[in-house]
A and B are shown apart, each in its own frame.
Chain A
Amino acid sequence: MTSLIAILDLKGKPLIQRTYRDDVAPSYVEKFMPYILDIEEEGQQVTPCFSRDGINYVHIRHSNLYLLALSKRNINVAETVIFLHRFVSVLVEYFKELEEESIRDNFVIIYELMDEMMDFGYPQTTESKILQEYITQESHKLETMQVRVPQSVTNAVSWRTEGIRYRKNEVFLDVIESVNLLVNSNGNVVRSEILGAVKMKCYLSGMPELRLGLNDKVMFESTGRTARGKAIEMEDVKFHQCVRLSRFENDRTISFIPPDGEFELMSYRLSTPVKPLIWVEAAIESHKGSRIEYIVKVIAQFKRRSTASNVEIYVPVPDDADSPKFKTSTGGVQYAPDKSAFVWKIKSLAGGKEFLMRAAFGLPSVRGEGDSMERRPPITVKYEIPYFTVSGIQVRYLKIVEKSGYQALPWVRYITQNGDDYSLRTALEKGSAPIRQSM
């Protein structure tokens, strides 16, 4: 029951807005920024939703924009916030980048989308692939080319249109596992989780029925079969809306009619403890007022037959560090002053190997007073390990059945990478866990 949705720039100026219900005057949009400033001035945090004068302001941030929804009622705010995020992703798919410029250039189409995605404050369709079928940048003449509502908008299968044809029927499955990890300064893993996703690229004709088989422990147990090899226990599985949830609930079968093209079929989570695949430790020696030195060690703690590629290790340094000096036996090091960090890049890191690098920076001799609390962001690591999954998940089969009876080829690829939070806290100052090793 959102009454109004607006996109604002960082100064709070509305770029485009659409009223869905009359109970909130559009002028309230302009009050949003002053309220935000008020809240900040009072020393409080601005939460994604707040209420002022009987109006509820729900907002999200996307790069340099605010997306704002207003309502007077006790709305389902989870729905509203998620809808705003979906709105962003639809706009991103339409315009590649969503920013002031692309909004100004596309007023008309954004209005159309806003109209189609929400009616009277109720979200309708947010599948950008379907929207793109009937809301396009080209104009249509009614006589010449009939734009029809794609049946799929209201179909039970609202994500796929009928009559799709491919000469070669193929399915590509990508199993991607992202590892989130937090290592304490004393070297203990405090928290770790695996966020897995099965992404598909579907080039299949007609209305194919697909069934995906994984080495799912719960399924093996419920069917009484014993797993050959390892079975994994997924803690929470989320599916694209095409998957029949009740069937999964009954017998853990993943059956679905896929959308056309690229989409994320499912995601899952495991919080079984993970050994850090790429271990980094840093000994930091700081000489206040003159220089700061780092010795960084990286260890590839996975099997020798795998290799991590594009490893990037971000080691934070004080904001005012200068004149960097680096020494390393492998890869390259760059100073990134804008991120207050230096980056150690290793193109390919084989399992079981370990390397060292040294860095030294100058520090200004005069420092601001009272800032004994140093910013100490953790070391973060980016990497990819192809042909490998940490959890051991495996695609056992992908059955494709279509009434025309064609043969289709499934291709499966595995990859493990860092999640958005793969961080290792650094120990404070010298004396703690020094790495003494000559290079």
Chain B
Amino acid sequence: MSVRGPRKGENYELSVDLNSEYRDKRKDAIKRTIASMTVGKDVSGLFPDVLKNMQTDDLEQKKLVYLYLMNYAKTQPELVILAVNTFVKDTDDPNPLVRALAIRTMGILRAEKIIDYLCDPLQKCLRDENPYVRKTAALCVAKLYDLKPELVIENGFLEQLHEMIGDSNPMVVANTVAALSDIHASATTASTSDQDPAVFVISAGTLSKLLVALNECSEWGRVAILSALARYEAQDDKESEHICERVVPQFQHANGSVVLAAVKVIMIHMRGVRREELVKQLVRKMAPPLVTLLSSPPEVQWVALRNVNLLLQKRPDILQNEMRVFFCKYNDPLYVKVEKLDIMVRLAGENNVDALLSELKEYASEVDVDFVRKSIKAIGQTAVKIDGAAERCVNVLLDLIATRVSYVVQEAVVVMKDIFRKYPSTYEGIIPTLCSNLDELDEPEAKASLIWIIGEYASKIDNADELLGIFVDTFTEESYPVQLQTLTAVVKLFLKKPDSSQGIVQKVLNTATKECDSPDVRDRAYIYWRLLSTDPGAAKSVILTPRPLISVPRTTVSAGLLEQLLGEIGSLASAYHKPSETFVGRGRVGVDKVKSVGAEADERSSAQKALQTVAAGQQSENLLDFDDAPATDGQPSGLAATQFSQTPAAASILSGTSSNPLDDLVSIFGAQSTPQQAPSAAGPAFGNLGGLDFGMSPSPAGVTSPSVGVMSPAAPQAQNQQNQQDDLLGLF
């Protein structure tokens, strides 16, 4: 029947043993076959030999054969049919374990031929007297729907599942809910019609059954039921309250996913609760279980921290007095430490800032360079966030600069620039200290930051021309962000001290327009040049215009997205802080299709997918933005968004607080609208150019250094977009 291999070698020996007259030998041969299968050897040729051993009263042997079938049914579809008889017979076995095993395996085989034979036994098993069989059968309906939805609908399996929500056994209820939700998910992604019978609408009657089963079923069943409860739409505030009160005890469950699922349900149904004091009570009860999640294994901690981060964006008061529990442990993995840092800054306030700063200073002296940098960033964010603590933060930074460890100094300089953006003309006293470290800077971002500071305070730094001269001399060797920054700083210097800096400005404009190969740098130099030569007054108001103050954004995602993510607490979306459309592939791609597509096409399709992702992200984000801030008022929402992520400080803050390259990307897209909208809004073209200055002066830190690129397909794309965007801006 099948093509036999040569009459020697491992498979031949196995085949001989599989046909042995001794039972033990046969069983041992099946085990060896499975072992070969596991290590990746092809034993599909033994299919008929293994199949012969399926009829047995040895349960273990039966399981082994089933195991083999699951793996190879797809490659030998015409042979699977031979197994059907045994399967059907097994679903009638007196032992419920065998019945369940048969129905479970038949569902997984996924061979077209076998499906038609699945319906009758499934019908029977759904009404089986044993709950173990029923719970297995319930999931089998979902498997069948995945393969052939028509069959499920024709056979009335859906109605049957709906009945089973009232089953006396909580495990069966849980699996039924899981199956219905699974079918619901497939149905809603495939079609848009609300009339689809597969849509799982939870009625008030279902609700009460679920609430009863919730207290009795196993931990995983609780997660399934809670997820269904999250989808229920409460009729009125009484019902919302009722659901919250029934779900709150789940906070005490030892399983963290039950806790998070309960948090999700509460966050959703709390929206409908009108009694303020109940809301307060719920929020208060939420804090201790969240803190306890921090004693879980690091991976669980990470998921919890990402979700806590979202929760804090919505309700900053949840963990108000708990900042200390987020202090990093020496042995925490870096990904945990980074999340903790972010949350600490979120929780920082006047009352705990001293403890925070002393911790951050401690972290800044650890060995892991990444962590040290992030800690220093956090100090900067704290300074920007809490006015009263800014001076203490600056002092800590000065202490760190005094260590003269290269990367510490560089990061501190970058952070200082943010502080100058927030508190202009406040800490000028430390500029000499910063400048004295000029020689040690070798990273573009640090250099650019220091140059910006020199340019900004050129009138107060006596030797500003000397300092900038160093960079002008090496202009062509510097990276573009440094070049751009040098250019602007020198022009600022000229506008402030025209007498002493005529030569240097001439030199830099010359070099930038003639010897520089970046169109951005050249274009900006031309603009400055023309501005300076036609109307120095205009140049002044464009280039020296005061920058908007920066602040640490309270949220890293838009309000609409935040609500959506809070409704998905515990999911991947809430861990990534991204809407699910951005990482869930559309439509289902069959295994065979994936295999047949070559490597090249694969790359292309992934690139395309990334583009779609970006577009999707942009769309949803923009739509949400419009919701919050209508574009009719003086400041277009696009512009507002731009200022944040494009100004140097905000860019680095964003990249510190958000691991989401899309955020930055989106705001870049937002920038596109700036030049278009600004003229109508602001009349004089200065507004336009002023915007350009903001846009260009920073290094594109937000995009080039996303802190956690979970979504790397988007990252290279982001780069491209950024470049294009730069060009676009350059055109103006």
Contact = CB atoms under 8 A, between A and B. Distances in A.
Nearest to B130: A149
Nearest to A140: B59
Given A1-B182, A373-B367, A139 B252 contact: no
A295 interface: no
Nearest to A73: B584
Nearest to A18: B70
Nearest to A119: B139
Interface in A64-114: 71-79, 81-85, 107-108, 111-112
A375 to B, nearest CB: 5
Interface in A352-401: 370, 372-378
Most chain B CB inside 10 Å of its own CB: which residue of A77, A83, A370: A77
A11 to B, nearest CB: 14
B572 A56 contact: yes
Closest 8 CB pairs of A and B: A54-B585, A236-B288, A74-B580, A154-B131, A48-B299, A249-B249, A123-B220, A78-B570
Interface stretch (B357-365, B463-471, B667-675): B357-365
A238 interface: yes
B320 interface: no
Interface string A216-250: 00000000000000000001111111001110110
Contact of B583 (A56, A146, A378): A56
A119 B174 CA distance: 13
Given A25-B595, A81-B299, A139-B58, A119 B104 contact: yes
A78 B303 contact: yes
A288 to B, nearest CB: 16
Given A78-B571, A108-B67, A237-B252, 16 more contacts: A1-B185, A44-B708, A51-B711, A55-B585, A76-B257, A78-B260, A108-B34, A139-B61, A142-B58, A148-B95, A156-B170, A158-B218, A195-B295, A249-B252, A267-B254, A378-B330
A341 to B, nearest CB: 13
A15 B40 CA distance: 9
Contacts of B64: 108
14 contacts: A22-B146, A23-B588, A27-B595, A44-B708, A47-B710, A74-B573, A75-B571, A124-B175, A184-B358, A236-B252, A238-B252, A239-B252, A269-B292, A425-B362
B708 A45 contact: yes
A374 B31 CA distance: 54
Interface in A107-133: 107-108, 111-112, 115, 119-120, 122-126
Interface in B395-431: 403-406, 408
Interface stretch (A35-43, A164-172, A202-210, A343-351): A35-43
A51 B662 CA distance: 14
Interface string A10-40: 0000111000111101010000000000110
B304 interface: yes
B496 interface: no
Nearest to A144: B57
A191 interface: yes
B405 A154 contact: no
Contacts of B298: 48
Given A73-B584, A78-B300, A79-B223, A182 B327 contact: yes
A344 B703 CA distance: 50
A245 B405 contact: no
A176 B175 CA distance: 36
Interface string B594-631: 11000000100010010000000000000000000000
B335 A236 contact: no
Contact of A122 (B67, B224, B250): B224
Contacts of A403: none
B97 interface: yes
Contacts, number: 301
Interface of B: 27, 31, 34-35, 38, 40, 57-61, 63-64, 67, 95-98, 100, 104, 107-108, 110, 130-132, 135-136, 139, 142-143, 146, 169-172, 175, 178, 182, 185, 215-216, 218-220, 223-224, 227, 248-250, 252-257, 260-261, 288-289, 291-292, 295-300, 302-304, 307, 322, 324-325, 327, 329-331, 333-335, 338, 355, 358-359, 362, 365-367, 370, 372, 403-406, 408, 568, 570-573, 575-576, 580, 583-585, 588-591, 594-595, 602, 606, 609, 706-713
B655 to A, nearest CB: 12
A54 B588 contact: no
A44 B707 CA distance: 7
Given A156-B170, A190-B359, A246-B249, A51 B224 contact: no
Most chain A CB inside 10 Å of its own CB: which residue of B67, B224, B322, B575: B575
Contacts of A376: 365-366
Given A122-B178, A372-B405, A238 B136 contact: no
B35 A107 contact: yes
A82 B255 CA distance: 8
B60 A139 contact: yes
A416 interface: no
Contacts of A124: 135, 175, 220
A338 interface: no
Contacts of B355: 190
B185 A73 contact: yes
Most chain B CB inside 10 Å of its own CB: which residue of A54, A148, A246: A54
Contacts of A321: none
Contacts of B288: 235-236, 269
A409 interface: no
A340 B158 CA distance: 63
A421 interface: yes
Nearest to B588: A23
Most chain A CB inside 10 Å of its own CB: which residue of B58, B338, B712: B712
A261 to B, nearest CB: 17
Contact of A53 (B60, B110, B713): B713
Contact of A51 (B304, B331, B334, B710): B710
A238 B253 contact: yes
Nearest to B182: A1
Given A42-B709, A147-B95, A54 B609 contact: yes
B59 A193 contact: no
Given A42-B709, A45-B335, A269-B292, A245 B253 contact: yes
Contacts of A78: 256-257, 260-261, 300, 303-304, 307, 570-571
B356 to A, nearest CB: 11
A418 interface: no
Contacts of B325: 191, 193, 271
Contact of A77 (B40, B303, B331): B303
Contact of B110 (A22, A44, A55, A146): A22
Interface string A270-292: 01000000000000000000000
A419 to B, nearest CB: 9
A38 B712 contact: yes
Contacts of B609: 53-54
Contacts of B296: 82
B330 A79 contact: no
A304 interface: no
Nearest to B580: A74
Nearest to A269: B292
A153 interface: yes
A43 B297 contact: no
Nearest to A46: B335
A215 interface: no
A406 interface: no
A436 interface: no
Given A245-B215, A269-B288, A115 B220 contact: no
Given A16-B38, A372-B403, A81 B303 contact: yes
A74 B572 contact: yes
A140 B571 contact: no
Nearest to B302: A48
A219 B350 CA distance: 35
A48 B303 CA distance: 8
A134 interface: yes
Contact of A47 (B358, B404, B591, B708): B708
